[in-house]
Amino acid sequence: MHRIPVSNPLAKVVLLVAIIAVGFWIASFFPDLVLALIISALGAFILSPFVSALESRLGMKRIPAIILTFFTVGGSLVYLFATAGPVLLDRLLAIHEQMKQFPFETKLVELTKSLELSLPFIHAESLARAVHGMIGQATDAAGDSIQNAFGTLVTLAIVPFVTYFILADGHRAFENVIERVPNRYFEMTLNVIQKIRSQLVGYLKGWILDSMIVGILSITGLAILGVDYAVVIGVMAGIANLVPYLGPIVGASLAILVSLTQVGTFEMVGPIVIMTVIIRLIDDFVVQPLCFARSVDMHPLTVILLLLIGHEILGVGGMLLAIPLATIIKVSAVETHWGLKNYRITA
pTM of this prediction exceeds 0.75: no
Nearest CA to 298 among 228, 335, 244?
A: 244
Look at residue 1 in the predicted model and tell me its pLDDT: 45
At 103 the pLDDT is: 64
Domain boundaries, the chain: 185-347
pLDDT over threshold 60, residue 7:
no
pLDDT of 130 above 90: no
Higher pLDDT, 227 or 137: 227
Res 278 pLDDT > 80: yes
- Summarize pLDDT for 165-175 with one digit per residue, the tens: 888 887 777 77
Worst-scoring range by mean pLDDT, 66-80, 108-122, 191-205, 265-279? Answer: 108-122
> 316-342 and 300-314 helices cross at what angle (nearest 10)?
120
**What SS3 string covers 126-169?**
HHHHHHHHHHHHHHHHHHHHHHHHHHHHHHHCCHHHHHHHHHHH
Q: Would you tell me how many other CB atoms lie within 10 Å of the CB of residue 152?
A: 15
Tell me the Ramachandran region of residue 69: left when phi exceeds 0, alpha when psi lies from -120 to 50, beta otherwise: alpha
* Confidence class for position 217, pLDDT limits 50, 70, 90: very high
Averaged pLDDT for residues 272-278: 91
How crowded is residue 53: how many other Cβ atoms within 10 Å of its Cβ? 13
pLDDT per position as a tens digit, 298-345: 776 777 788 788 777 777 667 777 778 888 888 878 877 777 777 666
Nearest Cα to Cα of residue 240 among 305, 304, 316: 316
Q: Is the pLDDT of residue 114 over 70?
A: no
Tens digits of residue pLDDT in 282-291: 887 888 777 7
Q: Worst-scoring range by mean pLDDT, 133-147, 204-218, 275-289? A: 133-147
Q: Quick one: average pLDDT of 27-38? A: 73
Average pLDDT over residues 25-33: 71
pLDDT given at position 4:
47
Q: What is the pLDDT of residues 52-97, one digit of tens each?
A: 888 888 888 889 999 999 889 888 888 877 887 677 777 767 766 7
